[in-house]
Amino acid sequence: MTLRSLSTAADRRSTIVSAALTAFSRSGYTGTTIADVAREAAISSAYVLKLFGGKEALFVAALDECFERIEQTLASAPASGTPGEILDAMGDAYAELIADRTLLLIQVHAQSVAMLPAIGDSLRAGLARTTRFAKQRSGAPDDDVQRFIAYGQLCHLVVTSGIADLDDDWTRILTDNLRHPEI
């Protein structure tokens, strides 16, 4: 007789959050249903609702996971050198992370529905966490940390709008000195 280990609610939550990242990044908050996430996770919609209570809480959990992964990635970058070199290393690590558009797109979709209180709060908390982490880890002046965050947002714009694929004077202005892997 083979004993089968049953997954715990925590394991299922993790599976569902990963599925939510994928589903929400593909179709956005308004275009994704609980059923879409459940299908992606190979779990019933009823169980997703039981664990998360609704779509907004599920999106918040996915967004929180996104920022957790971002911080882990920034922490994996070398932390030696000047503050600028440390920010550059974190930027390179982030660029590699968002080569898979999932985390990039979940942030963009979150910005589009930030007027929903829980999502707006989660987005602001994630941005605060990332900004504080970059400041603490690099020891860079506030202006440099602001530029680091701004360049990250510009990378989002360049990638999601396809600007990197265009060769024009205005696109060169926006993409000059941006480092991001080809997607």
Per-residue pLDDT tens digits of the chain, which is 183 residues long:
445 455 687 789 999 999 999 999 999 999 999 999 999 999 999 999 999 999 999 999 999 999 999 999 999 999 999 999 999 999 999 988 988 899 999 999 999 999 999 999 999 999 999 999 999 999 999 999 999 999 999 988 888 888 888 889 999 898 887 765 554
Contacts of residues 52-55 at CB distance under 8 Å and 24 or more positions apart, as own/partner, are: 52/13, 52/16, 55/29
Q: Is the pTM of this model over 0.95?
A: no
* 180 Cβ neighbours under 8 A, 6+ residues apart: 95, 98, 99, 155, 158, 159, 164
**Token pair of 26, please?**
């593909």
Per-residue pLDDT, 183: 44
Per-residue pLDDT, 11: 85
Question: How far is Cα 9 from Cα 14, in angstroms, rounded to an integer?
Answer: 9
Per-residue pLDDT, 181: 55
Per-residue pLDDT, 14: 94
Per-residue pLDDT, 137: 97
